[in-house]
Amino acid sequence: MVAVDEYSKTVSSVAKSVTPHVASVRLDNGSGSAVVFENGRLLTNAHVVGTARRGTATFADGSDATFEVVGVDPLSDLAVLSARGEIPPPATLGNADELEVGQLVVAVGNPLGLNGSVTAGVVSALGRALPVRQGKAGRVIEDVIQTDAALNPGNSGGALADSDGRVVGINTAVAGFGLGLAVPVNVTTMRIVQTLISDGRVRRAYLGLVSMPAPLPDDVAARTGQKAGLRVVEVVTGSPAHRAGLHSGDLVLTVGRKQVSDAQGIQKQLFADAIGTELPVTVLRGGAMVDVFATPTELSVR
């Protein structure tokens, strides 16, 4: 009984601290939720915004504010809104990279048009991948948070908070019964957000390879201090990776002299500043370490 009581106190405390910073947003093409993350700015999902350029946000205290869409990035499912007039102060942001499976999380949003709804659950899994597309371009959102906190239509764009009331995710999808997903709030996410604020869109570099995590041989792991790399499954013909001489079966150890063990390790480096810049890639091929140099091009989203 004590455990349940403490659980209830925690959920109530988080709900009280987070709910004022979460808005119900209405746009020409639909509705959803959004989180105040900076003074005058809200963060939501790209799929909530769609092609709309403006809308109205309603907060838990009943106040309204109009907003304009600052930037949308379908390949991270994030969008930034700029509100006119006074709105609640920003929520406290956390770091999803510090989450652990099994820890308590609380979702705050506006499912089915019901403002200020709160559900709670646990982190069911970490490191999930969510495929997304924009035009002909495809990408995988890495390290998506899986939770069993109940999510319904309208929760998208709302907050996923830890037990300290820090927003660690932006709820993005209902994947099935008892299964919800959230885009993590971390360094990579905030880099995307700041780019949306400054440029309105995110330019990405393109290498043209498909890979999957794979363990390193024991002797290589001992020599490098690295346990895993990325096994190249496919190299797109004519791509920068193809021109650089990367092959299917190569085991990628480093990109830009930084160790990689998952797709996010590469994607972190494939922003605008990498376009047209020679990028060293170290691979394990036939038992030997080989350095190749790839020059990423800009990812086309048409």
Predicted confidence (pLDDT) per residue in 53-91, tens digit:
999 999 998 899 999 999 999 888 899 999 998 999 999
Of 44-58, 108-122, 228-242, which range is least confident?
108-122
Distance CA 227, CA 182 (A): 28
Give the mean pLDDT of 257-265.
82
97 catalytic per annotation? no
Give me the catalytic one of 33, 117, 156, 211: 156
Q: What is the pLDDT of residue 215?
A: 92
| This prediction's pTM | 0.80
20-47 pLDDT, tens digit per residue, is 999 999 998 889 999 999 999 999 999 9
- Tell me what percent of the residues of the chain surpass a pLDDT of 90: 60
Residue 2 has pLDDT above 90, yes or no: no
163 catalytic per annotation? no
Mean pLDDT computed over every residue of the chain:
88
Residue 107 has pLDDT above 90, yes or no: yes
**Count of Cβ atoms closer than 10 Å to residue 248 Cβ:** 12
Place of tokens 């691979």: 283
Banded pLDDT at 1 (limits 50, 70, 90): very low
Q: What is the pLDDT of residue 177?
A: 59
Q: What is the pLDDT of residue 143?
A: 72
Residue 136 has pLDDT above 60, yes or no: no
Of 77-81, 153-157, 168-172, which range is least confident?
153-157
Q: What angle do CA 174, 146, 187 make, to 5 degrees?
A: 110
Q: Which of 55 and 188 is assigned the larger pLDDT?
A: 55
**Count of Cβ atoms closer than 10 Å to residue 75 Cβ:** 21
Q: What is the pLDDT of residue 208?
A: 86
Give me the catalytic one of 31, 47, 76, 250: 47
137-154 pLDDT, tens digit per residue, is 555 566 789 998 878 777
Banded pLDDT at 3 (limits 50, 70, 90): low
- Tell me what percent of the residues of the chain surpass a pLDDT of 70: 90
Q: Which of 52 and 117 is assigned the larger pLDDT?
A: 52
Residue 247 has pLDDT above 50, yes or no: yes
Give me the catalytic one of 21, 33, 76, 77: 77
47 catalytic per annotation? yes
Residue 236 has pLDDT above 70, yes or no: yes
Q: What is the pLDDT of residue 204?
A: 86
Distance CA 44, CA 34 (A): 5
Indicate the length of the chain as a whole number: 302
- What DSSP designation does 85 have? S
Residue 97 has pLDDT above 70, yes or no: yes
Give the C-alpha distances (Å, rounded to integers) separating 124 from 120, 163, 250: 12, 15, 33
Residue 279 has pLDDT above 90, yes or no: yes
Residue 198's SS3 state is: helix
Residue 156's SS3 state is: coil
Residue 179 has pLDDT above 80, yes or no: no
Give the mean pLDDT of 161-176.
87
Place of tokens 């999808």: 173
Among candidate residues 212, 217, 141, the one with its CA nearest the CA of residue 182: 141
